[in-house]
Amino acid sequence: MEALAARQKKLIYLTLTLVMLAWGLNVIATKLIVTTFMPVTITAFRIFTAGVCVFVILFFTRKIRIPTKRELLFILLGGFFNVVGHHYFLSIGLRNTSASNGGLILGMGPLLITILAILFLGSSVTMAQVVGIVLGFSGVAFVVLKNGNISAVSLGDLYVFISILSQAISFIFISKIARSLDPRLMTGYMLLFGSVILFIISLIVEPDGLTSLAQGSFNIWVVFFASAFIATAVGHMVYNFAVGEIGAAETSIFINLNPFFALIGAVIFLGEEIVPTQIIGFILIIAGVIIGSDIWKEMMKKSKLRKEKHLSA
Protein backbone atom coordinates (compact mmCIF):
# COMPACT_ATOMS: atom_id res chain seq x y z
CA MET A 1 0.00 0.00 0.00
CA GLU A 2 2.81 2.40 0.89
CA ALA A 3 4.56 1.64 -2.41
CA LEU A 4 1.30 2.36 -4.28
CA ALA A 5 0.84 5.65 -2.38
CA ALA A 6 4.43 6.62 -3.18
CA ARG A 7 3.87 5.95 -6.89
CA GLN A 8 0.65 7.99 -6.84
CA LYS A 9 2.45 10.88 -5.17
CA LYS A 10 5.24 10.77 -7.74
CA LEU A 11 2.60 10.85 -10.48
CA ILE A 12 1.03 13.92 -8.87
CA TYR A 13 4.47 15.57 -8.67
CA LEU A 14 5.10 14.85 -12.34
CA THR A 15 1.65 16.16 -13.30
CA LEU A 16 2.18 19.34 -11.27
CA THR A 17 5.53 19.91 -12.96
CA LEU A 18 3.83 19.61 -16.35
CA VAL A 19 1.13 22.08 -15.22
CA MET A 20 3.83 24.56 -14.16
CA LEU A 21 5.48 24.08 -17.54
CA ALA A 22 2.14 24.89 -19.20
CA TRP A 23 1.62 27.94 -16.98
CA GLY A 24 5.14 29.24 -17.56
CA LEU A 25 4.82 28.82 -21.32
CA ASN A 26 1.34 30.35 -21.14
CA VAL A 27 3.02 33.68 -20.37
CA ILE A 28 4.71 33.35 -23.77
CA ALA A 29 1.45 32.26 -25.41
CA THR A 30 -0.41 35.21 -23.89
CA LYS A 31 2.33 37.59 -25.07
CA LEU A 32 1.94 36.29 -28.64
CA ILE A 33 -1.87 36.41 -28.52
CA VAL A 34 -2.22 39.94 -27.11
CA THR A 35 0.31 41.35 -29.58
CA THR A 36 -1.54 39.78 -32.52
CA PHE A 37 -5.09 40.76 -31.53
CA MET A 38 -6.66 43.50 -29.47
CA PRO A 39 -5.62 42.34 -25.96
CA VAL A 40 -8.86 42.66 -23.97
CA THR A 41 -11.08 41.27 -26.75
CA ILE A 42 -8.97 38.17 -27.34
CA THR A 43 -8.57 37.64 -23.59
CA ALA A 44 -12.36 37.65 -23.17
CA PHE A 45 -12.68 34.96 -25.85
CA ARG A 46 -9.80 32.93 -24.40
CA ILE A 47 -11.30 32.94 -20.90
CA PHE A 48 -14.78 32.10 -22.24
CA THR A 49 -13.31 29.16 -24.18
CA ALA A 50 -11.56 27.95 -21.02
CA GLY A 51 -14.79 28.26 -19.03
CA VAL A 52 -16.70 26.18 -21.57
CA CYS A 53 -13.95 23.53 -21.48
CA VAL A 54 -14.16 23.36 -17.67
CA PHE A 55 -17.94 22.85 -17.75
CA VAL A 56 -17.64 20.14 -20.41
CA ILE A 57 -15.20 18.28 -18.15
CA LEU A 58 -17.39 18.86 -15.07
CA PHE A 59 -20.45 17.60 -16.98
CA PHE A 60 -18.83 14.24 -17.65
CA THR A 61 -17.59 14.01 -14.05
CA ARG A 62 -21.05 15.03 -12.71
CA LYS A 63 -19.73 17.94 -10.67
CA ILE A 64 -22.13 20.64 -11.93
CA ARG A 65 -24.73 22.17 -9.60
CA ILE A 66 -26.43 25.53 -9.11
CA PRO A 67 -24.63 27.66 -6.47
CA THR A 68 -26.43 29.08 -3.43
CA LYS A 69 -26.89 32.85 -3.03
CA ARG A 70 -23.91 33.04 -0.67
CA GLU A 71 -21.76 31.00 -3.05
CA LEU A 72 -22.87 33.19 -5.95
CA LEU A 73 -21.67 36.30 -4.10
CA PHE A 74 -18.19 34.80 -3.69
CA ILE A 75 -18.20 33.63 -7.31
CA LEU A 76 -18.85 37.22 -8.40
CA LEU A 77 -16.17 38.64 -6.07
CA GLY A 78 -13.66 35.95 -7.01
CA GLY A 79 -14.47 36.32 -10.71
CA PHE A 80 -14.04 40.08 -10.58
CA PHE A 81 -10.54 39.88 -9.10
CA ASN A 82 -9.33 36.45 -10.32
CA VAL A 83 -10.56 36.76 -13.90
CA VAL A 84 -11.50 40.34 -14.80
CA GLY A 85 -8.79 42.18 -12.85
CA HIS A 86 -6.06 39.58 -13.28
CA HIS A 87 -6.50 38.88 -16.99
CA TYR A 88 -7.34 42.47 -18.01
CA PHE A 89 -4.14 43.89 -16.53
CA LEU A 90 -2.10 40.86 -17.62
CA SER A 91 -3.23 41.22 -21.25
CA ILE A 92 -2.43 44.93 -21.51
CA GLY A 93 0.68 44.53 -19.34
CA LEU A 94 2.29 41.84 -21.50
CA ARG A 95 1.61 43.98 -24.55
CA ASN A 96 3.90 46.63 -23.03
CA THR A 97 6.66 44.63 -21.37
CA SER A 98 8.79 41.57 -22.11
CA ALA A 99 7.53 38.05 -21.42
CA SER A 100 10.58 37.41 -19.22
CA ASN A 101 9.79 40.42 -17.01
CA GLY A 102 6.13 39.42 -16.90
CA GLY A 103 6.94 35.86 -15.86
CA LEU A 104 9.25 37.01 -13.08
CA ILE A 105 6.75 39.52 -11.67
CA LEU A 106 4.02 36.85 -11.74
CA GLY A 107 6.32 34.77 -9.54
CA MET A 108 5.43 37.19 -6.71
CA GLY A 109 1.99 35.54 -6.41
CA PRO A 110 2.60 33.29 -3.38
CA LEU A 111 4.34 36.11 -1.53
CA LEU A 112 1.46 38.53 -2.13
CA ILE A 113 -0.98 35.88 -0.89
CA THR A 114 1.06 35.65 2.33
CA ILE A 115 0.89 39.44 2.80
CA LEU A 116 -2.88 39.53 2.19
CA ALA A 117 -3.44 36.60 4.57
CA ILE A 118 -1.65 38.60 7.26
CA LEU A 119 -3.70 41.73 6.54
CA PHE A 120 -7.17 40.23 6.03
CA LEU A 121 -7.24 36.69 7.45
CA GLY A 122 -5.50 37.45 10.75
CA SER A 123 -2.47 35.32 10.04
CA SER A 124 0.42 35.95 12.42
CA VAL A 125 3.57 37.68 11.17
CA THR A 126 6.85 35.80 11.51
CA MET A 127 10.39 37.02 10.99
CA ALA A 128 10.71 34.54 8.11
CA GLN A 129 7.74 36.17 6.38
CA VAL A 130 9.24 39.64 6.82
CA VAL A 131 12.54 38.42 5.34
CA GLY A 132 10.67 36.72 2.50
CA ILE A 133 8.68 39.86 1.68
CA VAL A 134 11.83 42.01 1.61
CA LEU A 135 13.65 39.48 -0.61
CA GLY A 136 10.68 39.17 -2.97
CA PHE A 137 10.21 42.87 -3.54
CA SER A 138 13.98 43.31 -3.87
CA GLY A 139 13.84 40.70 -6.64
CA VAL A 140 11.11 42.61 -8.47
CA ALA A 141 13.19 45.79 -8.12
CA PHE A 142 16.14 44.06 -9.82
CA VAL A 143 13.85 42.89 -12.63
CA VAL A 144 12.20 46.22 -13.42
CA LEU A 145 14.83 48.77 -12.35
CA LYS A 146 17.53 48.60 -15.00
CA ASN A 147 20.80 50.08 -13.68
CA GLY A 148 18.90 51.48 -10.67
CA ASN A 149 16.95 53.87 -12.91
CA ILE A 150 13.32 54.19 -11.79
CA SER A 151 12.40 55.62 -15.18
CA ALA A 152 13.19 52.18 -16.61
CA VAL A 153 10.01 50.79 -15.00
CA SER A 154 7.53 50.32 -17.83
CA LEU A 155 3.78 50.73 -17.57
CA GLY A 156 3.58 47.10 -18.65
CA ASP A 157 5.57 46.01 -15.58
CA LEU A 158 3.15 47.93 -13.35
CA TYR A 159 0.11 46.39 -15.03
CA VAL A 160 1.51 42.86 -14.61
CA PHE A 161 2.10 43.56 -10.92
CA ILE A 162 -1.50 44.81 -10.52
CA SER A 163 -2.58 41.66 -12.34
CA ILE A 164 -0.93 39.28 -9.86
CA LEU A 165 -2.05 41.43 -6.92
CA SER A 166 -5.64 41.18 -8.17
CA GLN A 167 -5.35 37.40 -8.42
CA ALA A 168 -3.88 37.22 -4.91
CA ILE A 169 -6.84 39.23 -3.55
CA SER A 170 -9.22 36.76 -5.20
CA PHE A 171 -7.74 33.87 -3.20
CA ILE A 172 -8.94 35.57 -0.01
CA PHE A 173 -12.53 35.25 -1.24
CA ILE A 174 -11.99 31.78 -2.69
CA SER A 175 -10.57 30.49 0.61
CA LYS A 176 -13.72 31.61 2.42
CA ILE A 177 -16.06 29.54 0.23
CA ALA A 178 -13.89 26.60 -0.87
CA ARG A 179 -15.27 24.28 1.83
CA SER A 180 -18.85 24.44 0.57
CA LEU A 181 -18.24 24.88 -3.17
CA ASP A 182 -15.93 22.60 -5.17
CA PRO A 183 -13.01 24.84 -6.30
CA ARG A 184 -13.17 23.27 -9.77
CA LEU A 185 -16.82 24.21 -10.17
CA MET A 186 -16.14 27.68 -8.77
CA THR A 187 -13.35 28.04 -11.34
CA GLY A 188 -15.80 27.29 -14.16
CA TYR A 189 -18.37 29.81 -12.94
CA MET A 190 -15.72 32.50 -12.41
CA LEU A 191 -14.29 31.99 -15.89
CA LEU A 192 -17.70 32.35 -17.56
CA PHE A 193 -18.70 35.38 -15.46
CA GLY A 194 -15.31 37.04 -15.94
CA SER A 195 -15.26 36.47 -19.70
CA VAL A 196 -18.64 38.20 -20.09
CA ILE A 197 -17.46 41.24 -18.09
CA LEU A 198 -14.19 41.35 -20.05
CA PHE A 199 -16.12 41.25 -23.33
CA ILE A 200 -18.30 44.18 -22.23
CA ILE A 201 -15.13 46.11 -21.28
CA SER A 202 -13.58 45.25 -24.66
CA LEU A 203 -16.55 46.74 -26.50
CA ILE A 204 -15.86 50.04 -24.70
CA VAL A 205 -12.05 50.23 -24.80
CA GLU A 206 -11.52 48.35 -28.08
CA PRO A 207 -14.30 49.24 -30.56
CA ASP A 208 -12.39 47.45 -33.36
CA GLY A 209 -11.61 44.41 -31.20
CA LEU A 210 -13.87 41.96 -33.04
CA THR A 211 -12.43 43.08 -36.38
CA SER A 212 -8.91 42.29 -35.12
CA LEU A 213 -9.84 38.61 -34.76
CA ALA A 214 -9.52 38.25 -38.54
CA GLN A 215 -5.79 39.04 -38.30
CA GLY A 216 -4.75 35.74 -36.76
CA SER A 217 -2.93 33.02 -38.65
CA PHE A 218 -3.62 29.29 -38.19
CA ASN A 219 -0.60 28.96 -35.90
CA ILE A 220 -1.69 31.77 -33.58
CA TRP A 221 -5.15 30.20 -33.24
CA VAL A 222 -3.48 26.91 -32.29
CA VAL A 223 -1.62 28.83 -29.57
CA PHE A 224 -4.94 30.44 -28.52
CA PHE A 225 -6.78 27.13 -28.05
CA ALA A 226 -3.78 25.49 -26.37
CA SER A 227 -3.64 28.39 -23.90
CA ALA A 228 -7.38 28.25 -23.21
CA PHE A 229 -7.71 24.47 -22.89
CA ILE A 230 -4.37 23.21 -21.57
CA ALA A 231 -3.10 26.07 -19.41
CA THR A 232 -6.28 27.76 -18.22
CA ALA A 233 -8.95 25.02 -18.11
CA VAL A 234 -7.11 21.74 -17.49
CA GLY A 235 -4.20 23.38 -15.65
CA HIS A 236 -6.36 24.98 -12.97
CA MET A 237 -8.46 21.85 -12.51
CA VAL A 238 -5.40 19.63 -12.11
CA TYR A 239 -3.81 22.09 -9.69
CA ASN A 240 -6.98 22.19 -7.55
CA PHE A 241 -7.11 18.39 -7.54
CA ALA A 242 -3.49 18.24 -6.35
CA VAL A 243 -4.27 20.64 -3.50
CA GLY A 244 -6.94 18.19 -2.31
CA GLU A 245 -4.55 15.23 -2.58
CA ILE A 246 -1.28 16.48 -1.08
CA GLY A 247 -2.24 19.80 0.53
CA ALA A 248 -1.87 23.46 -0.36
CA ALA A 249 1.57 23.95 1.24
CA GLU A 250 3.20 21.09 -0.63
CA THR A 251 1.45 21.97 -3.89
CA SER A 252 2.49 25.63 -3.71
CA ILE A 253 6.17 24.63 -3.87
CA PHE A 254 5.69 23.87 -7.56
CA ILE A 255 4.53 27.43 -8.30
CA ASN A 256 8.17 28.43 -7.96
CA LEU A 257 8.83 26.71 -11.29
CA ASN A 258 6.65 29.23 -13.18
CA PRO A 259 9.21 32.06 -13.50
CA PHE A 260 11.88 29.54 -14.55
CA PHE A 261 9.77 28.10 -17.38
CA ALA A 262 8.65 31.60 -18.42
CA LEU A 263 12.28 32.74 -18.67
CA ILE A 264 13.32 29.69 -20.69
CA GLY A 265 10.28 30.07 -22.97
CA ALA A 266 11.01 33.75 -23.56
CA VAL A 267 14.52 32.89 -24.72
CA ILE A 268 13.54 29.93 -26.93
CA PHE A 269 10.30 31.16 -28.51
CA LEU A 270 10.60 34.96 -28.46
CA GLY A 271 14.36 35.36 -28.70
CA GLU A 272 14.46 37.60 -25.64
CA GLU A 273 17.83 38.19 -24.02
CA ILE A 274 18.07 37.44 -20.30
CA VAL A 275 20.20 40.02 -18.50
CA PRO A 276 22.09 39.52 -15.18
CA THR A 277 19.65 41.69 -13.19
CA GLN A 278 16.78 39.38 -14.21
CA ILE A 279 18.73 36.34 -12.99
CA ILE A 280 19.45 38.07 -9.66
CA GLY A 281 15.79 39.07 -9.43
CA PHE A 282 14.70 35.50 -10.18
CA ILE A 283 16.88 34.11 -7.36
CA LEU A 284 15.63 36.72 -4.87
CA ILE A 285 11.95 36.16 -5.76
CA ILE A 286 12.24 32.37 -5.44
CA ALA A 287 14.11 32.72 -2.11
CA GLY A 288 11.50 35.20 -0.89
CA VAL A 289 8.61 32.90 -1.81
CA ILE A 290 10.18 29.85 -0.15
CA ILE A 291 11.09 31.69 3.06
CA GLY A 292 8.07 34.01 3.22
CA SER A 293 5.48 31.27 2.69
CA ASP A 294 7.15 28.99 5.28
CA ILE A 295 7.61 26.29 2.62
CA TRP A 296 11.09 25.68 4.01
CA LYS A 297 9.59 24.81 7.41
CA GLU A 298 7.28 22.26 5.80
CA MET A 299 10.23 20.76 3.93
CA MET A 300 12.34 20.52 7.10
CA LYS A 301 9.43 19.04 9.06
CA LYS A 302 8.83 16.35 6.44
CA SER A 303 12.55 15.59 6.28
CA LYS A 304 12.66 15.20 10.07
CA LEU A 305 9.63 12.88 10.06
CA ARG A 306 11.20 10.72 7.34
CA LYS A 307 14.44 10.42 9.36
CA GLU A 308 12.53 9.52 12.55
CA LYS A 309 10.50 6.93 10.65
CA HIS A 310 13.68 5.45 9.14
CA LEU A 311 15.40 5.24 12.56
CA SER A 312 12.36 3.59 14.19
CA ALA A 313 12.07 1.00 11.39
Q: How does DSSP assign 119-132, residue by residue?
A: HHS-PPP-HHHHHH
**What is the domain count for the chain?**
1
When pLDDT is averaged across residues 116-144 and rounded to a whole number, the result is 73
Instruction: With cut-offs at 50, 70 and 90, classify the pLDDT of residue 113.
Output: confident
Burial 275-302 (b: 16+ CB within 10 A, else e): eebbeebbebbbbbbbbbbbbeebeeee
Q: Residue 303: is it exposed, middle or buried by C-beta count within 10 angstroms (0-12/13-18/19+)?
A: exposed
Give me the phi and psi of 294, to 5 degrees please. 65, 20
pLDDT tens for each residue of 85-100 = 988 998 888 888 887 7
In a domain, 303, yes or no: no
For residue 246, what are the domain limits? 2-130+146-272
**From CA 71, how far away is CA 77, in angstroms rounded?**
10
CB 169 within 8 A of CB 61: no
In a domain, 310, yes or no: no
In a domain, 137, yes or no: no
In a domain, 296, yes or no: no
Prediction pTM value? 0.76
pLDDT tens for each residue of 155-197 = 888 898 899 889 888 877 777 776 788 878 888 999 999 999 9
In a domain, 285, yes or no: no
